[in-house]
């Protein structure tokens, strides 16, 4: 309406001027008033007060995370975490799309599988009413790492949780319970933990597993030479990284000391990075020092969980069999897990419907509506703590020649143009909530409450603005892009003088591709040219980690129920810092 009215007024002025000229051609020409140049907003005036240069000044964020981890006043700690999220969101490199839930399908004769709020699935207590002793599953394609210290993917965490055991684990209610441990004591200052291990723990090769194995494994995971993505999870320990304060007092006693009290220590003890690995097995691999995960890249590696990997046809299948030496082996009734390795959700769904698999962790987007309409009892939707988002590489060439503030304004324009409601309703389809912050709804604040509870008021932008005020939102996005030096034609499209062309990186699952195409269409509304590149899962993970992308699909499901987990991943040295902050 605004553009139509402006055009009519302009035409009226043209006709009026023409009429004046024809009525008195001898009259002296009127003095023409100079045309005022359009005022271009200053990018520095448009960024948040929390903005810092995500490349040159990111040490400030690192220092804030260190302060949070050292803070003993939990109320103050929560306040500092809000400040950290303010800084993160002010970069506009992290663009939240929706808050996760999880879907899977399970045959009606299968029972006992459960998932925690962090998407880790546990198969060891499953039962089969059809008389089979083999559970056939699909989680994803070829896993990147099976070494629990090196894994950083959800599917890898599921494999680790079923083939390794930490000091603690999760029960079917999502509550931490002892696993290899029987319990622990904490010093009065909350800093020193003394953990008691079960008697008679064994590795899958029948050898003894002791507290010394945990000492070795934790020090290895924290060490720089291991280059674990999650090494930073140990940075709350005294002596991190190379002199980690963890000691095997005797065979069944492990002691470690923290720099500050930790409200989520049991969650850490249940996390794969804290699982034990057998030193002799790790170091038997010829290149173990330069390729730390190489020791378990083939079947037959030593583990200590409910199952042990006994077969691996790379990119096709994996077989896990019951470990008789696991401490809870007498409760395991399913003798074998057979994994179909694939990321092709159409092929996976076909295999499920053909009866070739009993459990699948994905469903093609175009099948979800029918599953919901039919109220299919084999289709499960479970809550998770996590955020689906897209991310910019802060070092991308598309920001060359721009000030940090201009680059942030460019990214904010992208944020505003994305129609999250369409993605939730038509692609996700299972009740996802449009996101406007990185920390998900329902996450605890570490001080007895929730970090945020209201999706619009407590976020960083209105996720429904593009639906409720399309023209106004488009105008605001154009203003932001103009502040970054871009020009627009009279139709509100990017001028050929200042194009924006970039590539969006995603893996090949249908839902991710559909979201990419939706974003592509949203950005085209102002003339942004977004191409889509699809990669196989493992290649995709490595390319993101290496920063070989402009713009990419991302997702983060929390590792434990505390905001620090989703904030410390963005420190300069973190292996999960795909945006390349501080680099």
Picking from 308, 343, 378, the residue at the C-terminal end of a domain is 343
- Asked if residue 27 is part of any domain, the answer here is no
Whether pLDDT at 17 is above 70:
no
Are 297 and 430 contained in the same domain? no
- Asked if residue 85 is part of any domain, the answer here is yes
Determine the pLDDT at residue 1: 36
- Asked if residue 22 is part of any domain, the answer here is no
Whether pLDDT at 541 is above 50:
yes
- Asked if residue 112 is part of any domain, the answer here is yes
Whether pLDDT at 317 is above 90:
yes
**Domain count of the fold of the chain:** 2
Are 155 and 74 contained in the same domain? no
In the three-class reduction of DSSP (H, G, I as helix; E, B as strand; rest coil), residue 577 is classed as: coil
Check which CATH number belongs to the domain holding 489 and give it.
3.10.105.10
- In 400-441, DSSP assigns E strands to 433-434
Are 516 and 413 contained in the same domain? yes
Percent residues over pLDDT 90 in the chain = 90
In the three-class reduction of DSSP (H, G, I as helix; E, B as strand; rest coil), residue 197 is classed as: strand
Are 168 and 280 contained in the same domain? yes
Are 404 and 463 contained in the same domain? yes
- Asked if residue 580 is part of any domain, the answer here is no
* Statement: the pTM of the whole predicted model exceeds 0.95: no
Q: What is the pLDDT of residues 201-221, one digit of tens each?
A: 999 999 999 999 999 999 999
Element spanning 247, H or E: strand 246-250
Tell me the average pLDDT across 287-307.
96
Whether pLDDT at 455 is above 90:
no
| pLDDT tier, 15 (very low <50, low <70, confident <90, very high otherwise) | very low
- Asked if residue 305 is part of any domain, the answer here is yes
Indicate the range of 29-33, 44-48, 400-404 predicted with least confidence: 29-33
Picking from 321, 343, 365, the residue at the C-terminal end of a domain is 343
Tell me the average pLDDT across 247-270.
96
Determine the pLDDT at residue 34: 53
75-80 LR contacts (CB < 8 Å, sep 24+): 75/447, 77/446, 77/447, 78/445, 78/446, 78/447, 78/449, 78/451
Q: What is the pLDDT of residues 559-568, one digit of tens each?
A: 999 999 999 9
Q: What is the pLDDT of residues 125-173, one digit of tens each?
A: 999 999 999 999 999 998 889 999 999 999 999 999 999 999 999 999 9
| pLDDT tier, 36 (very low <50, low <70, confident <90, very high otherwise) | low
Whether pLDDT at 515 is above 90:
yes
Are 400 and 453 contained in the same domain? yes
Are 433 and 316 contained in the same domain? no
Are 557 and 414 contained in the same domain? yes
Contact by Cβ (8 Å): 310, 319: yes
- Asked if residue 356 is part of any domain, the answer here is no
CB proximity list for 69: less than 8 A, separation 6 or greater: 235, 236, 259, 260, 564, 568
Determine the pLDDT at residue 6: 36
Picking from 290, 310, 343, the residue at the C-terminal end of a domain is 343
Are 141 and 85 contained in the same domain? no
Determine the pLDDT at residue 23: 35
Whether pLDDT at 2 is above 80:
no
Q: What is the pLDDT of residues 343-401, one digit of tens each?
A: 999 999 999 999 999 999 999 999 999 999 999 999 999 989 999 999 999 999 999 99
- Asked if residue 89 is part of any domain, the answer here is yes
Indicate the range of 35-49, 211-225, 260-274 predicted with least confidence: 35-49
Distances (CA, A) of 199 to 214, 252, 274, 302, 328: 14, 7, 19, 19, 13
Q: Cis before residue 414, ω within 30 degrees of 0? A: no
Helices 510-524 + 404-417 axis angle, to 10: 110
Whether pLDDT at 439 is above 80:
yes
Determine the pLDDT at residue 18: 37
Q: What is the mean pLDDT of the chain?
A: 93
Residue with more model confidence, 18 or 377: 377
DSSP structure class, residue 273? G
Are 299 and 400 contained in the same domain? no
Check which CATH number belongs to the domain holding 186 and give it.
3.40.190.10
Residue 123's CB is within 10 A of a number of other CB atoms, namely 23
* 22 dihedral zone (left: phi>0; alpha: psi -120 to 50; beta): alpha
| pLDDT tier, 10 (very low <50, low <70, confident <90, very high otherwise) | very low
Q: What is the pLDDT of residues 548-558, one digit of tens each?
A: 999 999 999 99
Determine the pLDDT at residue 144: 86
Q: Determine the structural domain holding residue 390 and report its residue range.
A: 51-100+386-570
Are 143 and 242 contained in the same domain? yes
Determine the pLDDT at residue 456: 82
User: CA angle at residue 36 from 33 to 37, to 5 degrees?
Assistant: 150
Are 509 and 435 contained in the same domain? yes
The full DSSP string for 352-372 is: HHTTS-SEES---HHHHHHHH
């Amino acid at each position: 309406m605004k553009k139509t009215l402006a055009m009519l007024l302009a035409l009226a002025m043209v006709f009026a001027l023409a009429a004046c000229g024809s009525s008195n051609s001898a009259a002296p020409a009127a003095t023409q008033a100079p045309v005022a140049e359009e005022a271009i907003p200053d990018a520095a005036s448009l960024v948040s007060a929390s903005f810092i240069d995500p490349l040159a000044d990111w040490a400030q964020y690192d220092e804030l995370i260190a302060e949070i981890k050292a803070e003993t006043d939990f109320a103050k700690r929560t306040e500092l975490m809000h400040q950290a999220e303010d800084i993160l969101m002010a970069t506009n490199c992290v663009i939240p799309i929706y808050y996760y839930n999880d879907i899977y399908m399970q045959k009606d004769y299968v029972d006992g599988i459960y998932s925690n709020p962090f998407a880790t699935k546990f198969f060891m207590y499953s039962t089969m009413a059809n008389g089979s002793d083999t559970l056939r599953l699909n989680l994803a394609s070829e896993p990147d790492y099976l070494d629990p210290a090196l894994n950083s993917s959800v599917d890898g965490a599921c494999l680790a949780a079923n083939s390794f055991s930490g000091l603690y684990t999760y029960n079917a209610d999502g509550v931490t319970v002892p696993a290899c441990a029987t319990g622990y004591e904490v010093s009065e200052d909350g800093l020193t933990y003394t953990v008691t291990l079960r008697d008679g723990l064994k590795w899958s090769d029948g050898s003894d597993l002791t507290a010394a194995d945990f000492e070795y494994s934790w020090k290895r995971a924290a060490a720089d030479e291991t280059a674990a993505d999650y090494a930073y999870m140990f940075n709350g320990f005294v002596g991190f990284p190379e002199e980690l304060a963890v000691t095997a007092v005797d065979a069944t006693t492990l002691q470690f000391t923290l720099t500050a009290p930790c409200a989520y220590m049991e969650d850490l003890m249940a996390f794969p990075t804290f699982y034990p690995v057998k030193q002799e097995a790790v170091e038997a691999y010829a290149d173990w020092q330069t390729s730390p995960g190489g020791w378990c890249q083939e079947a037959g590696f030593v583990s200590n969980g409910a199952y042990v990997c006994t077969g691996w046809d790379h990119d096709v299948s994996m077989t896990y069999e019951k470990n008789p030496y696991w401490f809870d082996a007498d409760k395991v009734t399913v003798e074998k897990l057979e994994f179909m390795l694939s990321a092709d959700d159409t092929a996976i769904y076909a295999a499920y419907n053909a009866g070739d698999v009993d459990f699948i962790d994905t469903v093609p987007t175009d099948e979800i509506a029918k599953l919901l309409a039919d109220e299919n009892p084999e289709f499960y939707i479970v809550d998770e703590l996590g955020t689906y988002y897209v991310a910019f590489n802060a070092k991308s060439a598309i920001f060359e020649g721009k000030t940090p503030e201009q680059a942030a304004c460019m990214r904010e324009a992208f944020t505003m143009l994305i129609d999250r409601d369409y993605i939730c309703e038509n692609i996700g389809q299972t009740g996802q909530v449009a996101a406007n912050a990185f920390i998900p709804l329902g996450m605890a604040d570490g001080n007895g409450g929730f970090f945020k509870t209201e999706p619009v008021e407590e976020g960083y932008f209105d996720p429904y603005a593009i639906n409720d005020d399309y023209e106004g939102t488009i105008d605001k996005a154009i203003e932001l892009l103009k502040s970054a030096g871009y020009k627009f034609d009279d139709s509100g499209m990017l001028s050929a003088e200042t194009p924006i062309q970039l590539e969006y990186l995603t893996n090949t699952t249908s839902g991710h591709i559909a979201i990419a195409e939706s974003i592509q269409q949203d950005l085209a509304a102002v003339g942004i040219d977004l191409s889509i590149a699809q990669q196989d899962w493992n290649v995709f993970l490595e390319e993101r980690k290496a920063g070989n992308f402009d713009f990419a699909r991302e997702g983060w499901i929390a590792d434990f129920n505390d905001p620090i987990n989703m904030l410390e991943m963005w420190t300069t040295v973190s292996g999960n810092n795909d945006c390349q902050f501080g680099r």
